[in-house]
């Protein structure tokens, strides 16, 4: 989806605890049947075509904000990361996030507690596999 304008989200929608993007309801599908539109709470990547910067946000409907079909509502942190300004002409692209982009986003998440939890989870999974292989090795080799 091509985006031409960015609207400021209200304070109750802003911050790292929410990480949402508000879209026009014509771009949303609550039934999860139309793959041409975005689903509610689906991870989306917003890319600034001018400089390649990107952020990951979760899709939500417009919630009473006046958002036209080619506009999105973003919080200050996302606007700053994308190097754009509110209510000015922008060249952004919104698309579904790929699995590796979601993992990469959480690996480098701005909130240190989220970043630490994902890294500890990955370390625990690796150590678990290594422990399993160490336990099974005598039966396989001997």
- Are residues 85 and 28 in contact, defined by beta-carbon separation less than 8 angstroms? no
Q: In this structure, what is the dihedral angle of CA atoms 14, 18, 19, 24, given to the nearest 10 degrees?
A: -70
Q: With cut-offs at 50, 70 and 90, classify the pLDDT of residue 55.
A: very high
Q: Work out the number of other CB atoms within 10 angstroms of the CB of residue 16.
A: 12
Mean pLDDT of 61-87: 90
Higher pLDDT, 142 or 53: 53
pLDDT at site 105? 92
Per-residue pLDDT, averaged over 68-79, amounts to 92
Map out the domains of the chain as residue ranges: 2-97, 111-142
The pLDDT, as a whole number, for residue 87 is 84
CATH number for region 2-97: 2.40.40.20
Residues in CB range of 5: below 8 A, 6 or more apart: 68, 70, 71, 72, 87, 88, 89, 90
- As beta bridge partners, residue 60 has 22
Global pTM reads 0.84
Tokens, residue 10: 């209200």
Measured in whole angstroms, the distance separating CA 101 from the mean position of its chain's CA atoms is: 8
Question: Does the pLDDT of residue 121 top 80, yes or no?
Answer: yes
pLDDT of residue 12: 85
The 10s digit of each residue's pLDDT in 10-34 is 888 887 778 899 999 999 998 889 8
- As a whole number, mean pLDDT of residues 81-110 equals 93
Backbone angle region of 32, left / alpha / beta, with phi > 0 → left and psi within -120 to 50 → alpha: left
73 close to 21: Cβ distance less than 8 angstroms: yes
Indicate the pLDDT class of residue 127, thresholds 50, 70 and 90. very high
Q: What is the pLDDT averaged over residues 56-64?
A: 89
Percent of the chain with pLDDT over 70: 100
> Counting every residue, how long is the chain?
142
Q: Is there a contact between 59 and 32 (Cβ–Cβ < 8 Å)? A: no
């Amino acid at each position: 989806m091509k985006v031409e304008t960015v609207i400021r989200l209200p304070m109750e929608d802003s911050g790292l605890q929410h990480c949402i993007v508000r879209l026009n309801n014509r771009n949303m599908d609550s039934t999860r049947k139309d793959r041409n539109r975005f689903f509610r709470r689906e991870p989306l990547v917003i890319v600034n075509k001018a400089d390649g910067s990107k952020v990951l946000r979760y899709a939500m409907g417009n919630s009473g904000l006046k958002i036209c079909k080619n506009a999105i509502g973003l919080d200050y942190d996302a606007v700053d990361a994308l190097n754009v300004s509110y209510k000015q002409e922008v060249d952004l692209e919104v698309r579904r996030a790929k699995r590796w982009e979601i993992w990469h986003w959480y690996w480098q998440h701005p909130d240190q507690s989220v970043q630490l939890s994902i890294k500890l989870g990955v370390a625990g999974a690796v150590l678990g596999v290594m422990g399993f292989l160490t336990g099974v090795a005598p039966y396989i080799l001997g």
